[in-house]
Amino acid sequence: MLVLALAMTFAATGCKKKPGMTTPLPGQRVGNPGNGSGPVTADTGGRFTPDNTLGNANPTTSTSGFPLDATWTRDQMNEDPSKFAAQTVHFAFDSSTVRSSEQVKVEAVAAAMQSEQGLYLIIEGHCDERGTEEYNRSLGEKRALALREELIKAGIASNRIRSLTMGEDKPVATGHDEASWSQNRRGVFIACTPK
C-alpha cells in the first residue's frame, strides 16, 4: 500500500523540467539581473523585414523617390504591356514549371529590370479554357509566382514585382484546339513605372 501511495504521489507531481534556452525577441524582457534595477531587455540586432536577405538589403525608395514597399498598387503605375510582349512565357499543359526553353525570356526581363531601377513589374498568369474556373485561377497564380521566383533568383528585389492570376479570363487565341490552348497557357510581363 505504501509503495502504491508513493507511486501515485510521484505520478501526480511529476518531474519538473528545467526551462530550455531560448533566443529572446528584440525588446523582450529576459529576467531580473538581481541588482534591483528591473528586468533586462534583450537586443538581438536590427529590425527584420521579409524582403531583407543577407548581403542584399533592399532600399525603401527608388532613385525617383517612389516607395519600394509592399504597398504599391496597379493604379499608381503607368503600364506598358508592349515592352515585354516578346518575353511572354508559355507553359506546358497543367504545369507551372518554367521550361528551360523559356528561361531566356525571364533572363531578358531580369536584365532590363537590373538596368532600369525605376522599372516595376506585374506578372499575369493565364490558363487555357480547360478545367474549372477555380482550378484555372489557382494554376494561373502558380504560373505568375513561378516567374516571380525566377526573377528574384536573378537578383530582382521582390518588392518591385506583383503577381496575379487571370485564370482563363483573357485568352489571346479563341480556338478550341491545342494550337489555341498552347498560346493561352502563358505568363505575361507588364512593365510599370510610377505615375
Q: What is the pLDDT of residues 135-145, one digit of tens each?
A: 999 999 999 99
| 3-state SS track over 49-85 | CCCCECCECCCCECCCCCECCCCCCHHHEEEECCCCH
For position 141, what pLDDT does the model report? 97
CB of 190 closer than 8 Å to CB of 124: yes
pLDDT band at residue 117 using 50, 70 and 90 as cut-offs: very high
pLDDT band at residue 72 using 50, 70 and 90 as cut-offs: confident
The residues spanned by each domain of the chain are 74-194
pLDDT band at residue 188 using 50, 70 and 90 as cut-offs: very high
Specify the pTM.
0.66
Segment among 43-52, 86-95, 142-151 with least mean pLDDT? 43-52
Topology adopted by domain 74-194: 60s Ribosomal Protein L30; Chain: A; (3.30.1330)
CB of 121 closer than 8 Å to CB of 160: yes
Read off the C-alpha cell for 137.
485561377
Amino acid occupying residue 25: L
- Cα 9 to Cα 1, 16, 135: the distances in Å are 12, 14, 58
CB of 168 closer than 8 Å to CB of 132: no
